Amino acid sequence: MARSRREALLLGLASAGGLAAPAQSASRTPIAKTGRPGVEGQRRADLGDGSYLNPVLSGDRPDPNILKDGDDYYAVFSSFLYYPGAVVWRSRDLVNWTPVGPALKTPLGSVWALDIAKHDGRYFIYIPVLVASSAEGLPFKLYVVHADSMDGPWSEPVDMGIDGYIDPGHAVGEDGRRYLFLNDGHRAPITADGLRGDGPVEKVYGGWPIPDDWVIEAFAPEGPKILRRGGWFYLFSGQGGTAGPPTSHMVVVARSRSIHGPWENCPHNPIIRTTSIDEPWWSRGHATPIQGPAGDWWFAYHGYENGFRTLGRQMLLAPFEWTADGWPKALGGDLSRPLPKPKGASMDKVADQRGVALSDDLRRDVLGAKLAFYAPADGYLERARFGDDGLVLEGQGKGPADSSPLAFIAGDRSYEVTIDLEIQGAGQGGLLLFYNDKLFCGVGAEAGRLRAYKMGVEQTYPSPGAMEGRRLTLRVVNDENVASFFIRQGDGAWRRIVSYEVAGYNHNMADGFVSLRPALFASGEGRTVFRSLSYRALERGAKVVSRRT
């Protein structure tokens, strides 16, 4: 029987180092076009002609929160169980972004939607942490880190003494008192220094009544953001649930003359929502309103890409205007087409904000800005040593599941990752596509043998085969959620080990709110040395020829 085109192409990659992507099936659900390529072929929002195409930050950028500080914009995202976490990003135009560095290195638990604030010249990041889960519910604690600059250094996390709530939104009332608005319409007063709760948590807003026949995940008022403008306090919230059905999430707004209410819902709520499974972006919500460089207004929010939930919730940008009666009106439509970029940005510093190269020789520390450990234990930073020989990663656990892999965020629909590795001692090292400790696939190597993993379980059929020695090169090609793993030793030819379909490696199948990420792991006794990490985005219809390693 003749091989399928995909089969032939992947076998060609194994011998020639390239991949030509097949034409999209006409029966497939339409998806948004991609932006023009940036570094390493990664998709880039800025089209270079005064317009941009969403996402402005591809890959897993959930619950975006934006702070405008002079000419600069800063963003942070939920980092969940990845550490170093709470990575700060900087932009001048809301479209081109670059990482500044992590604000949180101490493992606390799962970090959910954060909030950045500037008050009296000092910077704060409010951090809700899921410290455990139990039959009684989800026990959260609220922490804060603070600094003199968004570049850091950041303080150690401070326990605010506010427990059981998520999604803080900093606000200052008409009397100058500071508050954190929280999920489910709650509000907590905080001390003047912004570091602790200062009174009981109260319910102050009941949300917008969602029609009974709408297909949503849950009522779930969350992500409150307060904007003061024109004598009004505006309260922007997410509702409907952040995942589940494509039509679940939405953005609603209410306003009040006082920080204490009463809150009046907008007559044309929701102001943002996915209404059809045919749209390019699903579950759009959790918006931050932000003023552009020229004084116009924008929403930064997240959404799942149609057909690519594995990439996580990506950051989207859309303009809005104020109506004559003082309500915000979104203008971006379904975000399927390019939109004019925000005007008025100071162009200095913009050139270096057009993405970050994921390829790295691994000789210098890139933790936080690129790589992060999944669910690490205390002292995790001592496991990784960067130097002239590359990254030396001490083994942990018995296999990939409990090894606390080092992962990075990929934002392309198709890509290849290649890594050189050397096994030292009686351990295992390898390359994964990792969702969480129960859901991953990939290949591990140890002295004389290979191991293959699918759905978080070691596979014996088909057999991954053997290898010679302790040095090898591994590669994964993720071609629109079909992942193929390859091995090469020395100057020999590439050999394909196994291929898996990974579209189901996402939150709707496995919970956790994260994304499917390329990851390096070292387990058992001994260590693994990783060298020459190479990432290359693959555009449909273009053949990409890889470098030798």
Domain end (from 290, 318, 353): 353
Question: DSSP assignment, residue 266?
Answer: P
Omega prior to 376 cis, within 30 of 0: no
Average pLDDT (397-404) is: 98
Q: Are residues 70 and 108 in the same domain?
A: yes
Query: Are residues 64 and 120 located together in one domain of the fold?
Result: yes
On whether residue 265 sits in a domain, the answer given is yes
By C-alpha distance, which of 310, 365, 244, 234 is closest to 506? Answer: 310
Confidence check: pLDDT of 464 > 50: yes
d(CA 381, CA 375): 12
Taking the CA of residue 502 as centre, how many other CA atoms within 13 Å lie in the half-sphere pointing to its CB? 34
Do 418 and 332 lie in one domain? The reply is no
Q: What is the pLDDT of residue 354?
A: 64
332 vs 102, 271, 286, 316, 545, CA distance in Å? Answer: 31, 11, 16, 10, 37
- Per-residue pLDDT, averaged over 448-453, amounts to 95
Of 353, 385, 420, the domain-final residue: 353
Compute the distance between CA of residue 230 and CA of residue 278 in angstroms, rounded to an integer: 38
Within-domain flag for 160: yes
Average pLDDT over residues 315-329: 98
Domain of residue 339: give its range. 36-353
Residues 13 and 63 in one domain: no
Q: Are 315 and 428 found together in one domain?
A: no
Q: What is the pLDDT of residue 138?
A: 73
Bond preceding residue 99 cis, omega within 30 of 0: no
Residue 8 has pLDDT above 60, yes or no: no
23, pLDDT greater than 50: no
pLDDT of residue 29 exceeding 50: no
The secondary element (H helix, E strand) that includes residue 406 is strand 406-407
pLDDT at 347: 62
What was the pLDDT predicted at 21?
32
- DSSP H helical segments within 189-247, as ranges? none
**Looking at the predicted structure, is the pLDDT value of residue 549 above 80?**
no
What's the pLDDT tens digit per position in 515-525? 999 999 999 99
Dist. CA 46–CA 459, nearest whole Å: 42
Residues 123 and 258 both lie in one domain:
yes
Whether residue 31 lies inside any domain: the answer is no
- Is 30 part of a structural domain of the chain? no
Note the pLDDT of residue 134.
63
Task: Decide if 48 is inside a domain.
Answer: yes
The predicted-structure confidence for 66-113, as pLDDT tens digits, reads as follows 999 999 999 999 999 999 999 999 999 999 999 999 999 999 999 999
Is 341 found in the same domain as 193? yes
Which two structure tokens, joined as six digits, stand for 206?
A: 């009941």
Q: Is residue 29 part of a domain?
A: no
Give the tens place of pLDDT for each residue, 209-233. 999 999 999 999 999 999 999 999 9
Statement to judge: residues 76 and 188 lie in one domain:
yes
**Residue 122 covered by a domain:** yes
Q: Are residues 442 and 469 in the same domain?
A: yes
Sign of the dihedral defined by the CA atoms of residues 456, 461, 462, 467, in that order: positive
Give, in order, the Cα–Cα distances in Å from 333 to each of 34, 82, 210, 516.
Answer: 17, 33, 21, 28
The whole-chain average pLDDT of the chain stands at: 91
pLDDT of residue 346: 78
Number of helices followed by number of strands (H, E) in the chain = 2, 43
- Examine the pLDDT at 33 and tell me if it is beyond 70: no
**Three-state SS for 40?**
helix
328 and 476, same domain (yes or no): no
- Nearest to 294, CA basis, from 463, 71, 24, 21: 71
Look up the CATH number of the domain holding residue 238. 2.115.10.20
Does residue 156 share a domain with residue 18? no
pLDDT bracket for residue 355 (50, 70, 90):
confident
Which tokens belong to 320? 């809005």
CB 423 within 8 A of CB 522: no
- Gap between the Cα atoms of 150 and 163, Å rounded: 26
Last residue of a domain, one of 332, 353, 374: 353
- What is the total count of domains within the chain? 2
Which CATH number do you get for residue 381?
Answer: 2.60.120.200
* Residues 314 and 223 grouped into a single domain: yes
Per the domain annotation, does 27 fall within a domain?
no
Would you place residue 348 in the very low, low, confident or very high pLDDT band (cuts 50, 70, 90)?
low
